[in-house]
Amino acid sequence: MVCLGNICRSPLAEGILKDKLRERGLNWAVDSAGTGFWHIGEPPDPRSVSTARKYGLDISRQRARQLQSQDLEAFDLILAMDRSNYDDILRLANTGQQKSKVEMILNYVDPGSNRNVPDPYWDDDGFDKVFHMLDEACERVIDKHT
């Protein structure tokens, strides 16, 4: 799960996917990262933590990190929250195989749409909307890959 700073969208996506996998008894490695470096080591935005808690998830122990080129080897799927992040991820890819792992997360809900998950950082009211978008997308990710 990749967004810009790894404090709003991608921590929510990580928490949602991990919870859904646990409920289904699936043991996948899930992580999140940001394309930027500004928040490395910081916990998720308090509004993301609060939104997750509202829906029974605890993401408070996550810490922001920056996406590294080795992530494109280590993970089978790299899900971008928006087009800018998608392009940044592709710039890190060294091979066609690595590039083929990168997808826009909302394409699981609306294939081929390349819609962005809006960044709620500047919109206090956007966190619930983002949570529900990611919740549906994570459900579809699991359905497609099981």
Long-range contacts of 50-55 (CB under 8 A, 24+ apart): 50/127, 51/12, 51/127, 51/128, 51/130, 51/131, 52/11, 52/12, 52/15, 52/16, 52/131, 54/128, 55/131, 55/135
Contacts of 110 (CB under 8 A, 6+ apart): none
Distance, CA of 13 to CA of 67 (rounded, Å): 15
Active-site residue set: 3, 9, 119
